[in-house]
Amino acid sequence: MRHASNENPVLDNPRLAGLTSWDADWSGLRVVVAGIGVSGFAAADTLIELGALVTVVDSGDGERNRQSADTLKIVGAVDVVLGADAMARVPDVRGQRPDLVVTSPGIRPTNPLLEAAREEGIQIWGDVELAWRVSERRGRRTPQWLCITGTNGKTTTVGMTASILQAAGLKAIAVGNVGTPILDALRDPVEYDVLAVELSSFQLHWTHSLSPLASAVLNVAEDHVDWHGSFENYRADKSRVYENTRIACVYNAEQEGAEELVEAADVVEGCRAVGFTTGMPGLSMVGVVEELLVDRAFVEDRATSAAEIGAVSDTGPLPTRHGVANALAAAALARAAGVEPEAVRDGLRAFHPGGHRIEVVAETDGVRWIDDSKATNPHAAQASLSAFDPVVWIAGGLSKGVDYDELVRANAARLKAVVVIGTDDAALLGSLARLAPEVPVLAGTPGQGTSAETTLDEPSIDPADGHAVMRRAVQLAAQRVTPGDTVLMAPAAASMDQFTDYADRGDAFARSVREELGLA
């Protein structure tokens, strides 16, 4: 690891460089906020409270955006521009060029407004950068940040981390990409001791001065290539979470190249690299010994001893290798924050994962039906596919430009049948045809690619009607199962082609299963 200064890097704009606390002089700062969704709204609301001059722009002009605009105008003086041309250029703020653009994480760097801002030399921050800069506030406790990113497992791990911290008696909350904006937590009347922060690659792309107490990259696999432009760019943005880390950079010792990301990071003097593994831990690692979770990183004599911090059975009702890895990463982050071993165990036992992540929907006649709708990429799907055998797999959706060959190759032997849903099926069907030619592939979406067969009459279903497609997929899966099988809905793709989001997709699966089994 390379050591960085404790000071935040000096940015080109002297005014912005001095904005490192809530109590700095934000008044009159001219800011364009790009996006009026959850994070954009929180950023605009915060900046208005700080006294900045704010213009909010969003290309969407739906009812929700108009309601958000009206709310912001009630909060304070703000200009809001909605519509298709709103983000075609960098707007003036009260007749002058802006000092800063704060962008929502989903907006691509190639967006015309962001490209124009770069060309004009206007600094671009994300909501996370803004949150870090206002984290310190006179008269309030400054929370420590434990930051978590990865292709798969972020939400589970950040929830586990928060639960462990709470079990230790700390005021802690899971924030960031998990749903609650960091800025909302910082303005909460509750003064938090620690924030467990889930960070997406989109959010990390726009961070500049973040300096967490501890940070973790759970894993990196191909995802969001369409947003980042290449896997290399995606991986580089993930690794930004390690920059300026103060106590521990937590890495996946089982993933090739993971430790290299830590070694390349500029960290604060004294920061350590701490690995996690589902096998026997080495020096300065956490891992598993005879079904026990153990710590060889945060004990006084780590060369010859280890501390028991829990058991594999504490990680959930259906322990998987991936789930154990998440628990160990959470434990390492919490231990870096000074949490005692007993609190790790108690926090893991108290944690209840959110829905749609390897969730048993029904178990009847010797068949398990499992919802893993949150598996929105191949790496996430691998975590659940590898835990069951044999499997009738329901998969497909928006592929986001990823490749399915590795996933299909690794699991072909356990696949009894595959039911393909979604409207962007070419890549998945191609991988199945090449690498699992003996596995029956059934068309969940009517009119699907020619390599998919069906055993149901072609119904009058709109391919965009995800709920009807899911009912059909469940019916097809039911025709293929026998006692001992698992039906696993782990799409390895995004959901927005046929559903509102992954939760809507998971709910549709659960409802269809109950209807099919007569449990509704």
Binding residues: 150-156
C-beta of residue 157 within 8 angstroms of C-beta of residue 216: yes
Are the beta carbons of 335 and 295 closer than 8 angstroms?
A: yes
Q: Which tokens sit at 384?
A: 């659940």
How far apart, in whole angstroms, are the C-alpha atoms of residue 427 and residue 107?
A: 25
- E-only strand ranges, 322-426: 359-364, 367-371, 391-395, 415-420
Residue with tokens 């620690």: 194
Q: Which region, left, alpha or beta, applies to residue 441 given φ > 0 means left and ψ of -120 to 50 means alpha?
A: beta
Q: Is the dihedral of CA 290, 218, 183, 24 positive or negative?
A: positive
Residues within the annotated binding site for ATP? Answer: 150-156
How many CB atoms sit inside 10 A of residue 199's CB? 32
**What's the first-to-final CA gap in the chain, in angstroms?**
55
Contact 181, 111 (CB under 8 A): no
Q: Residue 403 carries which DSSP code?
A: -
List the beta bridge partners of residue 467. Answer: none
Half-sphere exposure of 43 (CA within 13 A, CB side): 30
